[in-house]
Amino acid sequence: MPALLDALDGECPVLRSRAISVLSLIRDSRAWEPIVAQLLDREVRVRVAAALALARFPCSRSVPTLERALRQDGRHAVRLAALQSLIALFEAGFEEAVVEVVSLLFEQKADRRLRYAALGVIPLLPPRQSRGLLRRLRSDPNPDMAAVARKIEVAAAGGVEPDLSALPAALLDLASPRPERWNQALHRLVGFGEQTIAPLVEEMLRRSRDPEYCTRAGMVLRGLGPRRARPIVDWLERVDDPLPLEVLVEAVGGLEDKPLIYRLKDVIDRLRERERDPARRPPPEEMQRVRARCHLQLARIGSRVAIDDLKDCLGSPDVRIPVEMLAAVERIGKRDELLDLLRAWRKEEPLLRSRIRDVFLLIARREKVRRTNRIFSALCPEDRAALEQILEPAQHSPSRPALSGRGGSSRARTAAAETTPPLPSLRPSRSPHSSHSR
């Protein structure tokens, strides 16, 4: 991390942009502020990389920053990257990110290419809202924009039988570098209904090393809606390429259909079986990310059907833990998972230990687990040392408010903390290196 952060101050714009890309994959919170600072860089490629990277830091603070870049940056490439990141943040659950995107749809003075790109948010909106926007866009002064809106609306309503002979061309157009072209292809493919699923997945498999195409294919699958997209689950058993399978998992989770999401347990079981067969073993890091995505989607609906596999991953010395897996534990973890988190702490590098500490303390607070709880009575020396290290920051933070309740005075909370010594404060601690300032 220090070397990557220092690279952002270097003279080479190529190095700066590549460092930003790597930092966006690591997703360490210390990188957020330095990446935001790169939006003011003199080089366009660096600003584009920074705008795209913020989509991988899911937090509400990124929204106004991207909105400012969308409105004020003088280069189309940077504004397009900011727009794409806002759509990605909206898809990740930050509702406020859609406001500027929808506003751009009806801004007549805006760049036509940006307005076409903003149409990519339509499949992600609730049906009633998307229908309302399309009705307004039908009367748009720009005849091309109005025509596209009418095509999308007619296809979504099923008023015209789609011409399947145009499907192969739409699949190719989805790979176009021109935003207006691939946006039109996206909506045409949604209009084909469930008939688009098989050829789309097959094309995605042919382009399994093209993350941009796979991302757009995932937008098509989510745009189909729960009723038309049910055949997606059949492909979960047949796809072995990591990136397309990850897209299918995300698409199933985005449908918000619990019976479909429960099928992800079968994917987890299949991946476990593959691990036992060295001849069929896929690249471990890529498939481990797919496995983690399955766990996270199940955890989002509160399911613990795959908790045994989750515990095995936490405790196994050979498994590196993706951040999505920790997010799943954070949602559904109980006191029994605290011991697994201690084992995970022992094997992980410092980069993930702060995240493990946060999850451990959150579960302990939620389950009201004290330091003297019997689950800690038979810890081995290594686990005992891990527990002490996790609790050490809390013990040395006298100014941190105690946990008991949200109301009341700080004096009352401090007094309560003094009478309840177990697991001091149980708040996720902040490392002295948790932020990076320029």
Residues 137-175: tens digit of each pLDDT = 888 888 888 888 887 777 666 544 556 778 899 999 999
Unique residue bearing structure tokens 């009201």: 368
Domains delineated in the chain: 1-105 (1.25.10.10), 123-247 (no CATH)
How far apart CA 294 and CA 250 sit, in angstroms, is 8
Structure tokens at 426: 């149980």
Nearest partner of 76 among 106, 46, 102, 44, judged by Cα = 44
How far apart CA 373 and CA 46 sit, in angstroms, is 51
- pLDDT at residue 157 in the model: 60
Query: Buried b / exposed e across 231-246, counting CB within 10 Å, b at 16+?
Result: ebbebbeebebbbbbb
Structure tokens at 414: 């401090």
- Tell me if the pTM is above 0.75: no
How far apart CA 222 and CA 317 sit, in angstroms, is 36
**Any idea what the Cα angle at residue 417 is, between residues 415 and 422, rounded to 5°?**
150
Nearest partner of 236 among 189, 285, 273, 201, judged by Cα = 201
Sequence-distant (≥ 6) Cβ neighbours of residue 408 within 8 angstroms: none
- pLDDT at residue 393 in the model: 59
Structure tokens at 288: 């481990």
- pLDDT at residue 244 in the model: 92
How far apart CA 345 and CA 368 sit, in angstroms, is 21
Distances (CA, A) of 316 to 251, 350, 435: 29, 18, 31
Structure tokens at 271: 């991946």
Unique residue bearing structure tokens 């955890």: 299
Distances (CA, A) of 36 to 61, 171, 285: 10, 35, 28
**How many helices (DSSP H) and strands (DSSP E) are in the chain?**
26, 0
**Interhelix angle for 381-395 vs 350-366, to 10°?**
80
- pLDDT at residue 162 in the model: 57
Structure tokens at 178: 């021109």
Structure tokens at 383: 């686990």
Q: Is the CB of residue 370 less than 8 Å from the CB of residue 402?
A: no
Per DSSP, 54 falls in state G
Q: Is the CB of residue 320 less than 8 Å from the CB of residue 352?
A: no
Residues 234-243: tens digit of each pLDDT = 898 889 888 8
Nearest partner of 343 among 394, 380, 395, judged by Cα = 380
Low-confidence stretches of the chain (pLDDT < 70) are: 155-163, 227, 277-284, 393-438
